Amino acid sequence: MTPAAAASGWYLLVPSDAQMMADGSVAKGVTVTQYPQAAAFDTAEACERTRDAWANKALAAATKANKARFSYDDGRPKDPKKEEELRDALQKAQVTYLEAMIRLHEMQHSVCVVSDDPRLREPGR
């Protein structure tokens, strides 16, 4: 680490929902410098630890939601009211899973950058 980097802060930049594509990639033409700042840190290590923790949290949420989606396929009740409850629960689990996957993809594309990174001085930042 350079002395200048040691004296600077660090930013965790995470793409927004609007910058993400349905396949989990970042939209064409969007650069790291356009990602919103999610957090600031004194050290690169603290930034990377937080990035890793957030990514792990997103992965755990996606895994849990995915398991929930499939747990509702265990036998269909004959009672129409119970069927409706099951359908509602499955729909909620699917939405939760999709939201968790969006967070996971965002974290996969997130970066820690030093606050004096020249890219951050680009127009539009």
Distance CA 122, CA 113 (A): 14
Domain total in the chain:
1
Distance CA 6, CA 10 (A): 10
What stretches of the chain adopt beta strand conformation (E)?
10-13, 37-41, 111-114
Domain residue limits at 33? 3-121
Question: pLDDT tens track of the chain, all 125 residues?
Answer: 444 445 589 999 999 999 999 899 999 999 998 999 999 999 999 999 999 999 999 999 999 988 887 776 555 555 667 778 888 888 888 899 999 999 999 999 999 999 999 988 866 55
